[in-house]
Amino acid sequence: MDTLLELISLPLILSSFRFATPLILAALGGIFSEKSGVINIALEGIMLFGAFAAVLGSAQTGNPWMGVLYAMVGGVLFAAILAIVSIVFRADQIVIGTGINIFASGITIFLLQIFFNVKGTSPLVPRLPFMRIFGVRFSVLTYVSLILVPVVYYFFYKTHWGLRIRSIGEHPAAADTLGINVNRWRFLSVLMSGVLAGLAGAHLSIGDGSAFVREMSAGRGFIALAAMIFGKWHPVKAFGAAMLFGYAEAVAVRVDFAFIPSELISAIPYVVTIVVLAGFISKSVGPAASGEAYVKGDR
């Protein structure tokens, strides 16, 4: 009973936002890339590099906002690798994404030694401002991520640009016939996903803490990917999935279960993703006509 009460306690739910922030940002990034037709499994690596770039910017300028800028630029640089190699050289996107992830984990530790002369954890740097609600810290980037969800939704479903990107992802040949420059839009979309995944990294290093730790993305890029899939590539639904996964992470950190080992709770997002993709949930839930009013004589 105590455990149950703890599961719906306010601090726990509020801290889900904190854990969900990088997932939301990176999942939105993933949506940009994939809506345009480029699979981005490099979110993990881009996020990691963004986290490093944020600390570097904050340390060099003493201004955490410059750290955010560095993170976005760093994210764009990494995303540019994906864009160039997969669009210009037509290389396998999955393979390149994996390459970027290896690259990120190598180069962040390498640069940590060049710039800070340490191998594991960077020195503390100025962090982004935060606001406490009921004792739980909310970094500025948490608010940014919450604002970006409706913005990205609006972009994709209410603007010409969003429609173009979606049409490219669905049927590039048709889009091309209509005079849309497929590759240019793909390029821009992939770079945009770099900006967002970079921001996610900034949250990890200078939003939620004030240092870079090696491998600090710790699979969150892949959870973001899972959230995007679970959310069916829709910004608002992906947000919901990211919140669910953030909640799972908060539970794993804060709640002790007598019956489920806490080590396994962290695997929930991954299991859920497979289950959803296999259609165990969405195919069995709700008949096709649910939500539609029945009108006599209507076909």
Considering the complex, state which of residue 60 and residue 159 has its C-beta at the smaller distance from another protein: 60
227 binds another protein (CB under 8 A): no
User: Min. distance of Cβ 249 from another protein in angstroms?
Assistant: 12
The site map against another protein for 167-186 (x = CB under 8 A) is --------------------
Question: Binders of another protein among 258-277, rule CB under 8 A?
Answer: 261, 263-264, 266-267, 270-271, 273-274, 277
Residue found under tokens 């939003």: 207
Candidate list 7, 13, 73, 91; residue touching another protein; CB under 8 A: 91
253 binds another protein (CB under 8 A): no
Binding segment (CB under 8 A) for another protein, from list 46-54, 222-230, 233-241, 289-297? 222-230
The site map against another protein for 26-45 (x = CB under 8 A) is -------------x-x----
279 binds another protein (CB under 8 A): yes
Exposed e or buried b for every residue in 180-192, given b needs 16+ CB within 10 A?
bebeebbbbbbbb
282 binds another protein (CB under 8 A): no
- Quote the Cα angle for 153-157-161, to 5°: 105
Instruction: Note the residue count of the chain.
Output: 299
Candidate list 225, 241, 248, 250; residue touching another protein; CB under 8 A: 225
**Which strand (E) or helix (H) includes residue 132?**
strand 130-133
- Site residue total, another protein (CB under 8 A): 42
**Which strand (E) or helix (H) includes residue 133?**
strand 130-133
Distance CA 232, CA 147 (A): 20
Exposed e or buried b for every residue in 89-118, given b needs 16+ CB within 10 A?
eeeebeebbebbbebbbebbbebbeeebee
Helix extents (H) in the chain: 2-7, 10-35, 43-61, 64-83, 93-111, 140-158, 160-170, 172-177, 182-202, 220-230, 235-254, 262-265, 268-277
Please give the residue ranges that form the binding site for another protein (CB under 8 A): 39, 41, 81, 85, 89-92, 94-96, 98-103, 105-107, 109-110, 113-114, 219, 222-223, 225-226, 229, 261, 263-264, 266-267, 270-271, 273-274, 277-279
